[in-house]
Every structure is written in structure tokens, then in C-alpha cells.
Chains A and B, each alone.
Chain A
């Protein structure tokens, strides 16, 4: 644990100064854009695979800001967080694909609008 932290500090020695706001801003902008694209995509698309990819995009948007902020604050928290986020995203991907395959076997369609049994 301690060793990893020292390695990180060594790596950060290559860019010793805190990232200032003008360097941070583009990362945050891209991350916000990814988040919004994901959100809009989730609401407008009907294909379940695309909808899932949109939520993945939102997860990665958060990951990008975490890395940028982590570098900005010169701490290891952001990077640590991202590793856990990737793990959870992988678990969710496995689950999403399993569910979508199961649904596809029943309806031969990936469209979310093919499933309307429950309403009222």
C-alpha cells in the first residue's frame, strides 16, 4: 500500500505543480459533455444495448472527472476511486448483458418498447 503511494508520488514528481484551473477545465468540460450525451442518449434511444452503453458513458464521465480532480489535488483518492468504479462498471456490464440476452430469447427484439406487459 505504502509502496504504491510512493510510486504515485514519484510519478507526480514529473509534473510537480498542482494542475491549475485552466488545465483542469478541458477535462471537466469533456467529462460533463460525456455525462450529458449519456443522459440524453439514455432517454431518447430504445435499443437496450445502446441504453446500457449510455449509462457506461456516464460512469466513465465520472471516472474522467475523478482522475482529473485527483491530479488537481495531488492525492491518490481520485485514482483509487476510479479503480473501484471500473470494477463496479464491469459487474454491471456482465449483469446487463445477461439480462438482455435473457430478454432477447423471449422476444427476439432488443427494443425497450417491445416490453409493455406492466403498466396501469
Chain B
């Protein structure tokens, strides 16, 4: 229990903040209301610190991913902080304007408390996903991550389109949840355990005795397809453009990072139970059926995302399709797997995925921050391609942020996105997925078309011919979020080594060994899994040897 608590401190800090924020967001006094985001910021700092000093998950994953917890939670807290900067002023704008004009504050109309509380709930769920060691835990953590986001989409603007977006998102989200839940049920049926490392042991035993049972295999495939909703991969990607367009830009930035990270962590854990060691010679790969499914998913996700992005005129829809395409790229890393145990970073697909999640989070917050910092006279957010024309001249800071972050998303060589993509390429090559790497290369070239369109619109085009001009939004923190992201994109190149090392350590994967698992013996299981007991045993053996 205590060792589990030791890795849960970041979640506890976030949860305390969630409870506080719900109260302060409704407070009649304006100063306390305005203090609400600061509570979130303090909690995120505390969570970051707790994650930094957190032990690896150790026994929590039964040794499957022993080092993932600190890196994943630091990543979540850091990008969460950027998104928090971006969220300011999303809700309650009209209400606060009325209060300024002298009307009394009505807490019933205020959404601020819920909005920040749901944001913190979602991040809590995301961190819990990172510490999941059990199917039940994983299911609950994934739901805690996504349920608040549905409401956040609905209340993010006063417009009807955000309601429509919320409903689309919610219904497809519920469908995705039902699908992966059914997959989890079948996995439980095939293995008799909900503990991930025990499931891994059972699957390893089954593999050694002629292959994973068909029930388990079907369960895994259904679970993967269900989780594809969270990462916006192909069979479940339809909602993405509509939802990103309907939600306010800050919330869209959050949707691009939070559920995607949850989905990739969940996929890592699910795939970790079968392991990347089917077939021996040099590294090995996933079981054939799963690899084929992921392969098709990755190829289609990249291609569909990039080709449909070419046809869009709305910047948010372009970003939505590019988010789909980026999921496809990251799936390549998942297919490649951890490579040889102890192999270098560039052969390790999981490390590449973990690093790419960080780079993608930073870049995407940067681009959405630019959109969130611009608005029309009537309060509508900037969304159309015309809105960003000539941005480098009219708003130089925002314009250059957009150019830098977009070039980074394209994978332009000296920028952060390039570093992320190189890992995916090299790990794919090391795993022998040449066809997939060719598809990845072609897709990167297609992506260049629309990313360069964005860059050209901001840098080259003239503002003169645009009919409805855009203005800088009054919320300075949004601009700060963009500038900080652009700063990271440029300067993490120099300082990327600690983060690459972090991702590499976090991706440490210990495959399960075939053996018997005791079912239906809970008391026994608890004593067995206690490391203190195991240490005692070791000490006793040592003593016996010395004697």
C-alpha cells in the first residue's frame, strides 16, 4: 500500500487542487475567483516536483514498465502547465464583463469552477493512466481522463457549435469506451486476472505452449480498436475535425494532448502484456495478428490524416487532421517496440513514442496558442486561413510562434519535431518495418504541403486583401503559452539530452517470463507481490549462504 502511495503523490496534489478550485471558482469576491488558475498552477508544480522525486513504478507494474511513472508524470505536469496558461479567459468572459459593468456576480451562470476542476480531473486521470497496473484501474483512469473533456468542450464557448461538438465527442467517446471495455472483459476471460503483469505471465505461458488463445487475441484486438478513439486513429477518427473546430482553441489544444497521451500509455501497457518478442532473431515483434492490425491502422491513420488535411481551409481542421496523422506516426514506434533489451535510444520505439508525446504536446500548444490569441471584433476566434495571413507583419510575436511551431510539426531539421521524428524513423528501421517507414516518409512529404501553406500564409502573404481583420485577444497568458512553446521548440534542441534520456529510461520494458500464476488466491498474491517480503527472503538466503 505505501509503495503504491509513493507513486500516487502527484495525483493526490492534483485532486486536492480540484476540490479547492470547485469552491474558489464560484466565490463572490473577484480576487478569489481570479486566483483559481493559480491554485491549479501550484498543484501542477507540486505534482511535477513529486513526480521528479517519485520512485519508478517498481512493483506497481509487476516489473513490466518499471521506470515509466516519473517521466510520464513530469511530461503531463509540464505540458499541463502550458495548457493551463492557454485556458485563461476561455469561460465566463461575458459574465465577468457584466460584473465589471456593475451587475452582481451570479454563481449559477459561472462556469469557471467546473471548467478548471474538470481540467484538473482530466490531468489526474491521465496521471493515473500512467500508474495503472490493472485493467480495472486502467479503465477507470481512461474514463476519468475523457469524461471531463466532454463537458469542457460543451462549456468552452457560448456558441451552438461547441454543443454539437461535445455531443459528437461524447457519443463516439462512449462507443470507444464500450468497445475497449468489452476487449478488457475478454482479456480477463482469457487470462483469469485483471492484473497487467499477471496477464503478461499468462500470455507468455500461452505463447510458449503454442500461441495466445483466440479469446485473448480477440480481446486484445477489440481493446486496441477501442483505445484508437483516444488517440484518434483510423477506425475511430471521424470526430476529430468537428470537435476541434467546435471547441474553443485552448480546449482543442488540450484535446490534442491529453486523450492522446492517455491512449498511447494505455496501448503501451496493453501491448506490453503480449510483448514484442514473438519470433526470436534480433528483437522480435508483436504477435502477427496484432502487428497486422496496428500496421494497417498506422498506415491508414497517417495517410487519411495528411490527405484530408490538404483539403481544409479552416486552420483548426488542418490541425485536427494533422493530429490524426501524428497518431499514425507514433503508432510506428509502438509497432517497433522496445527493440533489443538495453539497446540504444535510436532503436527503441517506445522511447521514441514517449519523447514524441512531449514534442507533440509542446508544438501543438504553440500553434493553438496563436489561434487562441487572435479574435474577430465579434469575439469569434481566429480559425480561417485568411485570419493568419500576414501575421508575421501584423503580430510579429504570434506570427513567428506559428512559423516555428508549424515547421517543427513538419519535422523541419533543426527543430524539436525533427528530433522526435528521427527516433520513430530509426526505431522502425531497426525493427525491420521498411514498408511502414517508406509510408511514413511519403506522408511527411505530403504533410509538408499543408504545413508550408500555413507558414506561407503567415510569412509571405499580404494582409491587405483580407476583409475581416483579427485582433490580439486581451489574455496575455495565451500569448505567453505560445511564446514559451516556441522557445522550447527552438532551445530544447540544445537541452534535449536529459529529456531523451528520461524517455529512454522510462521505456525500459521487462518482458514477462512464462510460468504459473496462482488464481483465486488473493491473500497469497498480496504477500508475494510485497517487495519488502522478497527482500527479506533474499536477505535470509544470503545469511544462510554466509553461514
Contacts and interface: CB of A to CB of B under 8 A. Distances in A.
A75 B166 contact: no
B171 A62 contact: no
B228 to A, nearest CB: 15
Interface of B: 135-136, 139-140, 143, 147, 150-151, 154, 160-161, 163-168, 170-171, 174-175, 177-179, 181-182, 184-186, 188-189, 192-194, 241-242, 245-246, 312-314, 317, 519-520, 522
Interface string A77-111: 11011001100100110011001101100100000
Contact of B167 (A65, A72, A88, A115): A115
Contact of A62 (B161, B178, B522): B178
Contacts of A72: 189, 192
Contacts of B184: 62, 81
Contact of A92 (B163, B174, B520): B174
A73 B519 contact: yes
Contact of A76 (B170, B314, B522): B522
A120 to B, nearest CB: 6
A62 B181 CA distance: 6
Nearest to A88: B143
Interface residues of A, number: 48
B188 A77 contact: yes
B313 A120 contact: yes
Contacts of A100: 167
Contacts of A95: 147, 150-151, 170
Contacts of A61: 178, 182
B260 to A, nearest CB: 20
A55 B245 CA distance: 25
Given A84-B139, A99-B154, A92 B147 contact: yes
List of 9 A-B pairs having minimum Cβ-Cβ separation, nearest first: A58-B178, A69-B189, A73-B192, A118-B242, A55-B174, A62-B182, A65-B185, A62-B181, A62-B185
Given A75-B193, A118-B242, 4 more contacts: A88-B143, A91-B147, A117-B160, A118-B245
A65 B147 CA distance: 24
A74 interface: yes
B76 to A, nearest CB: 22
B174 A52 contact: yes
A96 B185 contact: no
Contacts of B175: 39, 42, 55, 58
Given A73-B519, A99-B150, A119 B174 contact: no
A76 B521 CA distance: 10
Contact of A120 (B174, B185, B241): B241
A80 B166 CA distance: 31
A90 to B, nearest CB: 11
A78 B188 CA distance: 8
Contacts of B139: 81, 84-85, 88
Contacts of A117: 160-161, 164, 246
Contacts of B174: 52, 55, 92, 96
Given A77-B194, A95-B151, A117-B161, A66 B188 contact: yes
B73 to A, nearest CB: 23
